[in-house]
Structure 1
């Protein structure tokens, strides 16, 4: 019988100069390569008093580093403070609290300043290595896909502006925006807008504000080639007109009710064609069709456009439906027809069955279905500080969301700059990245007035850390 390796272990009271987050040196190099701390310090200079020892920008970087390493509250900055050889001098807990309070008192100006610094750092990262496929500035293969989605964050106490949610919970409903890196990468957080728990997922003004904040995060050369994706919560006339007025493309969920029901009842069976999966292969039991030509003529609007906003759908909008047999045990819906589950989305992307002057309808359906990656991004954010908003004050939690976005950026930019384009590590989720790269222990030695970080000899992912360090030092 094999005995446990712990059987002969005794805890030695002697201590050595060790670090438990040796892989965090990559995060520090990303901060240096992107210029993030310099830009944050400059942007937050008005909120630094003359007697301040710790710069507010450095405090936010330390908090974001702690969250990137797995922390979920401000007190977890102690993990970073305990490793000064890696992360430098870190403010005490009372100082961190005072900085957050000072920034939260003027959140209306602080949040834009933080976001402006993030946008400049993102432009620097993308200039070094663009994380997307295709050619920048070109709609042909160079689309920047921005996903919008709302999520729910539970509050376990009566925090400011926490409210009942539509899922019978209690907390907040932040609106999130991400940029999808595609098949070989992960994704970046562009915007996190805090909202009370009773905020509607269909609020057009919230979608417009979040999209505008997301577009401001993109490098200027990338903003003219954006595809906006969202679920049916974004399917409002006001939001689609806003996207169209910006000369952008959209792929937005559309309710399978009303005119859609009429179109599905009148469309001939020959109009349905086999759907495909992400590999271009036929998807068993699924079909797609362009419903636009069978949609009934809309009635003339009677409400005031000036008061209620656009009263008609954009002229270039087309509605595409997908029908599929529900899997065994699936709950039937009111929109199901003759045993088919119907889902729809609207798009203004030109449709061409040949693919020469537009997209085949099957490819558009696959492109919209890949919006599910936004759910993965939200799940990863909840593993990176979003699961619980730690403060009582609403503006304090607004600042916390900006720290979460900074932490997510540090993780994603590390993967973008440190690893090869098609390396599996580019697609690792934060949990795996922490387990294999960031949380490796190391020993600090001092020789010839220099600090040396030594990693375990047999650590399976040493090569990734070595190559990542070399790549970041040369970028």
Structure 2
């Protein structure tokens, strides 16, 4: 039977009142309060507040971070918050925001240190509140993954240059604290570099590694493991890592000596490798080359481990592939035996470094895809705001969405299902109440998460 009913015509008007868009963003505001960043950042940036200024620099920076977490990609997108002052408080005008970014860029390293110090203090607070769900809880390792990525530029911006991928833009170095398979990760450091910066520049790896370690409480440094691809396999960077007694798992290039050692390995020394679930993976093996190489010039205790696997169907073979097998190497200072000493476990631990690619993709969905400002100093301030937005999202998930699949959702899904939820503001009994739609599928998740954050004590 055919229905004869028609959909009613929708008449649109702009006279609605008491309606809040992006109401789910209240989660981010509560996360700012719980971690103390809503007070810590204003204190850190107080020296750059002009006399008789109406808006606090720290509040403006946190507003920009919330804007990026909600999906913004330029300074003007802060207007999203300006439309709901009951939720997000007073928001500065576009000229005020632009002037502040210019002021912080002119301050240079001093402003960057202030922002990074406030972030480190908030991170320590967030990890303390998370308890068993925090990185390194129970003595576990805290992976810090370093990698570089390309950010395209469509105009002649400061430090924009041709990249090794034959594009034009910047080549920032990133460092992310990995939460493991049950979580996401935090942007510990985003360092702006010219587009023609090298992938294996030791000084840039050291800078990113140092900034990342500064974001982690000193008492936890012994649990940190730094992971990189072969771009980090340089003498200078490995010496820097070992001098700080930090664990490492770093990719290594296939030199002639290593290729010769691989060919000399008897077949019986190859051990079966693991898949992502720590199950034996057919067609993949691991072996150790340490005793077959001269490593006297490298850090003491460094081990060289090689992986052999059959390339997946359709993969283009390389000249380093021998007998139809592909070989990759990495080095580590972890001693044989024990919880992390088995070759297959070490190789799986190193391969999980690829989660850094997920974190970079999420950061590009949170403002890293485009550097909207012209000057390099201003764009470095932008990267600090991107890092703050990325970790604010991660802290919200870690503190409020534990035990739910939303703990691992990426920014696009969080925005679609949680942050973009609209609500109606109602006043009564000296209270301001936010009413969410009872038809929205994730209303219960949002209300539970907000309540959980509101019960956390402020620092």
Superposition TM-score tier, normalisation by shorter sequence: over 0.9
Of the three residues 248, 263, 268, the one matched with 2:266 is 268
Contact 2:127–2:134 (8 Å) recurs in 1: no
1:171 match: 169
Q: Tell me how far apart the structure 2 counterparts of residues 335 and 2 of structure 1 sit (CA, whole Å).
A: 66
Q: Say if 1:40 and 1:329 are closer, same or farther in 2 by CA, change over 3 A.
A: same
Shift of residue 46 of structure 1?
1.2
**1:410 aligned onto 2:392:** yes
* Deviation sequence 1:38-72 (CA, Å, 0-9, x none): 11111111111112111100000111111110000
Q: Tell me how far apart the structure 1 counterparts of residues 362 and 446 of structure 2 sit (CA, whole Å).
A: 22
Of the three residues 191, 196, 200, the one matched with 2:189 is 191
1:382 match: 364
Q: Tell me how far apart the structure 2 counterparts of residues 2 and 367 of structure 1 sit (CA, whole Å).
A: 59
Contact 2:226–2:249 (8 Å) recurs in 1: yes
**1:451 aligned onto 2:435:** no
Q: Say if 1:109 and 1:20 are closer, same or farther in 2 by CA, change over 3 A.
A: same
Q: Say if 1:219 and 1:4 are closer, same or farther in 2 by CA, change over 3 A.
A: farther
Q: Tell me how far apart the structure 1 counterparts of residues 7 and 180 of structure 2 sit (CA, whole Å).
A: 44
Shift >3 Å, 4+ stretches: 1-7, 130-136
Partner of 1:321: helix, strand, or coil?
Answer: strand
Shift of residue 4 of structure 1?
11
1:464 match: 445
**1:87 aligned onto 2:72:** no
Q: Tell me how far apart the structure 1 counterparts of residues 28 and 253 of structure 2 sit (CA, whole Å).
A: 43
Contact 2:136–2:220 (8 Å) recurs in 1: no
Any residues of structure 2 matched to 1:193-342 within 5 Å, and which? Answer: 193-295=191-293, 297=294, 312-342=297-327
TM-score by length of 1: 0.93
Contact 1:122–1:217 (8 Å) recurs in 2: yes
Any residues of structure 2 matched to 1:358-437 within 5 Å, and which? Answer: 358-420=340-402, 422-437=403-418
Shift of residue 13 of structure 1?
4.4
Q: Tell me how far apart the structure 1 counterparts of residues 171 and 5 of structure 2 sit (CA, whole Å).
A: 47
Partner of 1:105: helix, strand, or coil?
Answer: helix
Shift of residue 291 of structure 1?
1.3
Shift of residue 423 of structure 1?
2.1
Shift of residue 89 of structure 1?
0.4
Q: Say if 1:4 and 1:340 are closer, same or farther in 2 by CA, change over 3 A.
A: farther
TM-score by length of 2: 0.96
1:349 match: 334
Contact 1:27–1:65 (8 Å) recurs in 2: yes
Q: Which runs of 5+ in 1 are unaligned?
A: 301-311
Q: Say if 1:289 and 1:191 are closer, same or farther in 2 by CA, change over 3 A.
A: same
Contact 2:70–2:415 (8 Å) recurs in 1: yes
Q: Tell me how far apart the structure 1 counterparts of residues 406 and 39 of structure 2 sit (CA, whole Å).
A: 28
Q: Say if 1:168 and 1:3 are closer, same or farther in 2 by CA, change over 3 A.
A: farther
Q: Say if 1:98 and 1:199 are closer, same or farther in 2 by CA, change over 3 A.
A: same
1:69 match: 70
Contact 2:128–2:134 (8 Å) recurs in 1: no
Q: Tell me how far apart the structure 2 counterparts of residues 248 and 105 of structure 1 sit (CA, whole Å).
A: 34
Q: Say if 1:78 and 1:164 are closer, same or farther in 2 by CA, change over 3 A.
A: same
* Deviation sequence 1:78-113 (CA, Å, 0-9, x none): 001111111010000011111111111111210011
Q: Say if 1:282 and 1:98 are closer, same or farther in 2 by CA, change over 3 A.
A: same
Shift of residue 218 of structure 1?
0.8
Q: How many residues align?
A: 454
Q: Say if 1:241 and 1:391 are closer, same or farther in 2 by CA, change over 3 A.
A: same
Contact 1:266–1:294 (8 Å) recurs in 2: no
Q: Say if 1:396 and 1:225 are closer, same or farther in 2 by CA, change over 3 A.
A: same
* Deviation sequence 1:417-437 (CA, Å, 0-9, x none): 1022x4211101011111111
Contact 1:177–1:189 (8 Å) recurs in 2: yes
Q: Say if 1:322 and 1:3 are closer, same or farther in 2 by CA, change over 3 A.
A: farther
Q: Say if 1:13 and 1:35 are closer, same or farther in 2 by CA, change over 3 A.
A: closer
Contact 1:162–1:172 (8 Å) recurs in 2: yes
Q: Tell me how far apart the structure 2 counterparts of residues 4 and 450 of structure 1 sit (CA, whole Å).
A: 43
1:36 match: 37
1:309 match: none
